[in-house]
Structure 1
């Protein structure tokens, strides 16, 4: 899946080969090699959507599924390119975005 959500968010999602969660992300054209809150924001939406579809398909409650949200997340490869107002990072190397999603200055609804 690849989507331009709005003029501030571009997102792509693919499956990994089972080697765990992977991500490639940029904030204001800065590579965030370790991801951060923007990647979690997108990944949580994808995992929630997959879990909802599985619940519908199985006709069960989410709590009764053998598959947990972490299992779904472990098979995702998320690509995020976004523009964040006044971004905050964990260090000068800007590898991880720490800005809370309430302060992004925009939303990304998939």
Structure 2
């Protein structure tokens, strides 16, 4: 049975709590987490980053790389989790790169046993 439209709630920057941690060294990992909760429903999106040395125009450059994205939604005692696989993420950028709020990414996420 599909939930009614009134059961849905926003999941964007204005309705979420943002948390995470930065890489402690040049070749470290970082995590950005967005969480939204309403009554007994919770949505969480996690972005896992790493740094990687990439060859750019004959020079090695240290860049950040989006490694994995995980989305989970909990309703009551039930949770479903979707993950990206390595083949769907090909995003790297220089470390000082800045993005505007309207930037978007398109990735494929999977959940074993969920249709």
How does the TM-score come out when normalised to structure 2? 0.24
Q: Which has the higher contact order (CA 8 A, sep 6+)?
A: 1
The structure with the largest strand share of the pair is: 2
Q: Where is the helix percentage greater, Structure 1 or Structure 2?
A: 1
